[in-house]
Amino acid sequence: MMTEQAKVAAIQINSTADVESNLQQVEALLADAQQQQVKLALIPEMFATLDGKQYPAIAQNTEMYQRIASWGKTYNMWVIAGAYPQTSPDGDPRVRSACLVFDDQANEVARYDKIHLFDVDVADAQGSYRESDHFSPGDQVVVVDTPAGKVGLAICYDLRFPQLFMQMRAQGAEIFTLPAAFTHKTGEAHWQSLLRARAIEQQCYVIAANQCGWHDENRQTWGHSQIIDPWGTVLSELAEQPGLAVAAIDTEKQQQMRQNMPVFQHQRL
């Protein structure tokens, strides 16, 4: 007997310093996703803005938070608000890069705080990225039940740490979501290879929503948001312009694949 397949979407935008314009970009694509009967939509990392100077004010802005929370109810879907500045729960003056999950009644049902911070030198126009200047790291692995399946939450640079994805799979994850602002330089080299590796290793779907284009005179992101199945097949992929990648999640097919190749039963180390 066939089970109902839930449609999911990865939203790709080009965030600038204009927060209102960025939120309107997201809302237009959520409306598009609603027309396609999407049940779960993922928004990119720092969709409100990539301008770090605005993060503290955004973290304190309850009106903006409520607007984002309302999207699930407005568009009749679950919304994973990629990464959004939130106050650090431990009193650190820096904010957290928080992935917020809202159901279709505007309730926050999960929050994941980015564990791995991107403090890296890259041979691009910006040259140096230091997330720890703005953010304090989280330390909790989060898996949440959604209408599409059990979702393990990760953000951008987390993609390079397979042990996180192993822990999420051990906690029952069937889908990984990865909101990102992956740089153009590193994205061109590694983005899809890493996404497909995580999908294949853990036999999970991957929904990856990336930023795209130039955000200022120095910062360019790779785009290529996509949805990948547990076999590593790319089901839907965008290029480098804003848009929507949509695909269906078939957990019945996934379970059959896991039974046919029971790699987690074969682990010896």
User: What is this structure's pTM?
Assistant: 0.97
Given this model, what pLDDT does residue 4 score? 66
Residue 97 is predicted with a pLDDT of: 98
* 8 A C-beta contact, residue 137 and residue 115: yes
> Residue 66, exposed/middle/buried by CB under 10 A (0-12, 13-18, 19+)?
exposed
Q: For residue 63, what pLDDT is reported?
A: 98
**Spatial CA neighbour of 254 closest among 43, 6, 72:** 6
Give the torsion sign (CA, 180, 199, 117, 39). Answer: positive
Active site residues: 45, 114, 156
Mean pLDDT, 10 residues at a time, the chain of 269 residues: 75 98 98 98 98 97 98 98 96 97 98 98 96 97 98 98 98 98 98 98 98 97 98 98 98 96 93
- Domains identified in the chain and CATH numbers: 6-265 (3.60.110.10)
pLDDT at 3: 43
As a whole number of angstroms, the distance between CA 2 and CA 95 comes to: 45
Beta bridge partner(s), residue 249: 6
